[in-house]
Amino acid sequence: MRAALAACLVSIASGWLAGCAGMYPVAVTTRVPAELNVTPYSRLLVAGFVGGGIDDVDTNAETVRLLRSQLRAARSLTIISADAMPITRATLADPAFWRRVGEEYHNPLVLTGIVVLSSETHTDLGYGEREFFDDEGRRRIEMNRTAVEIETRTLTARLLYIDGQTGAIIHARVFREETSHAASQTVPALSSYFELMARLVPEVLGTVSDHTVVGPRTLLR
């Protein structure tokens, strides 16, 4: 009885392996619609942002310039060219202000919000190598725990999508991204800004434009 059962299991396993041998991966493209319904709009105004944090980076001007460039490439809406607006926190919650902006630019979808790049330094313990020669002249490497100064730069953003006709906020997203490096390294603040914004930009594009995702799928021959 056991011999028959064992033979049966071997037969099933052999059949499964044979089936696997006939499998092959393919790339499948899936269309993902925009998170926000933008059909009521033909134009998008990246108005400006409340900036702050590291003085070396003008997060208002840089964010307006970067997002306009990326959104133009997506070609879902016509991106309005205009100077970056000086935005305050009070302005963000003022529908009357945004209605006036909407009247000036023919009721577009407006993108605004808060973008802050901040920096913080802290001490962390790590391992470092110490090279020395022993009493017999042999080269030795010793691992020691050392204190290392780490700088962490954080990009905090709250993006608001506003209806230019009503002045109402119709969509909001909050982001927080960070990157760290040894404080002894010379890393320009603008470099950290672009590194962190590279993680945020796909979320913005996915909010206002359809996009495709390519992923693997396994098929049988």
Count: domains in the chain: 1
Q: Is residue 11 part of a domain?
A: no
> Nearest 5°: phi and psi at 137?
80, 10
Q: Is residue 79 part of a domain?
A: yes
H runs (alpha helix) in 22-94: 59-74, 89-92
Residue 118 has pLDDT above 80, yes or no: yes
CATH of the domain at 166: 3.40.50.10610
Q: Is residue 135 part of a domain?
A: yes
Q: Is residue 144 part of a domain?
A: yes
Q: Is residue 87 part of a domain?
A: yes
Residue 195 has pLDDT above 70, yes or no: yes
pTM: 0.74
- Tell me which H or E stretch contains 127: strand 109-133
pLDDT for the residue 144 = 72
Q: Is residue 153 part of a domain?
A: yes
168 lies in which domain range? Answer: 30-220
Distance CA 46, CA 161 (A): 9
Q: Is residue 117 part of a domain?
A: yes
Q: How many residues does the chain have?
A: 221
pLDDT band at 164 (very low <50, low <70, confident <90, very high): very high
% residues pLDDT > 70 (the chain): 81
Distance CA 90, CA 92 (A): 5
Q: Is residue 158 part of a domain?
A: yes
Higher pLDDT, 207 or 15: 207
pLDDT band at 121 (very low <50, low <70, confident <90, very high): very high
* Arithmetic mean of pLDDT, 142-146: 75
Distance CA 73, CA 68 (A): 9
pLDDT digits (tens, 9 = 90+) for 8-62: 444 445 554 445 556 767 766 666 788 999 999 999 999 999 999 999 999 999 9
